[in-house]
Each structure stands twice: as structure tokens, then as C-alpha cells.
């Protein structure tokens, strides 16, 4: 059984490499999710990126696997400057069961992502803020106003996502 760090190495950040192989292994052996999460702090940017891709894919069907790592994921989201980590964390973290204060704290981080140079980071941050707002009328109103503003001023990808999310809020 090869370590995930080794499986995820090599090549450049334009490729997901063997991250889908890692996803399949974790889905068969969920106990290895901790090893995958550990790779988010690898000294190699390509390993971090591919680990984030794999962890995000696993969390689509197994979001409960994220729960033990919530404090570490929050801290990483607040600290990382790597775009690939940012966009994957923005998609993963809202899948956690969070208290209102935890939602507010991480929403502040994702609002900072709206100033990132990467359009993809900004677009994923919009999705994260939308997901975190669900079920809170005040937060939904705030996010609705943000989405309306983005429809006028965002990048093409952000505008498209904002229009879609506004429809889900009830056609604002």
C-alpha cells in the first residue's frame, strides 16, 4: 500500500495526476482519509492541490469524514494563499455540520476569498457563502444582495454562478 503523498507527487499543477486513484482508495478504506487530509500540508504544492481535489471528491459522498478535521480545515482555509486549496476548501467546508458561530467565522474567511486574483476561487467562495447561508433568513438576505452585486460586477464565471444561485434563492 503506497503512501498517498507518493501517489500524488509528480507533474505539475495543471493535472490532477492520480488523485482519482486516491479517491477510490479512500472510498474503499475510509480510515485512510486522515492520511489524505495530512497531505493538505505537504511541502509540495502539487501534492497539496491533488490532496484537496481528492478530499473534496470524497466529501461529496462521505461528508462526515471531514468532521474530525474541522478545526484544522478552518485554520488552513484562513491561512493558505494557494488558489487550488482555497477553491476546494470553499466547496468542502460547507458540507460540515456547523454551529451558527462557526458558520459566521468561516463565512468571514470566504468573504476574503472574494478578493482573490483567481476567478475560480471567487466563484467557489460565492458558492460557499450561499451554502452557508441556507436556513438563515438574515444570511440569505445578505448573500442575495452580494449575488445581485456580483451579477453586475463579477467575472463572467462569477456572474453565471450568481445568476444560478439567485434562482435557487427564489428568483430575486
Average pLDDT of the segment spanning 139-165: 95
- Please give the DSSP secondary-structure letter assigned to residue 11: S
Q: How far apart are CA 43 and CA 113, in angstroms?
A: 22
Confidence at 18, pLDDT banded by 50, 70, 90: confident
Average pLDDT over the chain, rounded to whole?
95
Q: How far apart are CA 82 and CA 31, in angstroms?
A: 27
Q: Does pLDDT of 172 surpass 70?
A: no
- Percentage of the residues of the chain whose pLDDT score is greater than 70: 99
pLDDT tens digits for range 76-96: 999 999 999 999 999 999 999
Confidence at 75, pLDDT banded by 50, 70, 90: very high
Half-sphere exposure of 51 (CA within 13 A, CB side): 26
Confidence at 135, pLDDT banded by 50, 70, 90: confident
- Can you give the pLDDT at residue 171? 57
- Can you give the pLDDT at residue 13? 76
Integer angstrom CA distances of residue 160 from 96, 107, 114, 126: 26, 21, 15, 11
Is the pTM higher than 0.85? The answer reads: yes
Amino acid at each position: 500500500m503506497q503512501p498517498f503523498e507518493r501517489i500524488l507527487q509528480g507533474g505539475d499543477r495543471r493535472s490532477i495526476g492520480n488523485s482519482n486513484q486516491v479517491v477510490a482508495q479512500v472510498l474503499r478504506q475510509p480510515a485512510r482519509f486522515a492520511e489524505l487530509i495530512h497531505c493538505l500540508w505537504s511541502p509540495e504544492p502539487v501534492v497539496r492541490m491533488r490532496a484537496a481535489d481528492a478530499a473534496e471528491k470524497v466529501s461529496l459522498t462521505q461528508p462526515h469524514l471531514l468532521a474530525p478535521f474541522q478545526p484544522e480545515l478552518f485554520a488552513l482555509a484562513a491561512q493558505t494563499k494557494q488558489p487550488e486549496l482555497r477553491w476546494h476548501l470553499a466547496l468542502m467546508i460547507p458540507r460540515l455540520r456547523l454551529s451558527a458561530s462557526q458558520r459566521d467565522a468561516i463565512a468571514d474567511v470566504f468573504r476574503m476569498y472574494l478578493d482573490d486574483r483567481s476567478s475560480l476561487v471567487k466563484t467557489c467562495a460565492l458558492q460557499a457563502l450561499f451554502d452557508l447561508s441556507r436556513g438563515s433568513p438574515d444570511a440569505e438576505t445578505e448573500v442575495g444582495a452580494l449575488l445581485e452585486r456580483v451579477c453586475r460586477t463579477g467575472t463572467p464565471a462569477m456572474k453565471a454562478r450568481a445568476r444560478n444561485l439567485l434562482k435557487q434563492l427564489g428568483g430575486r
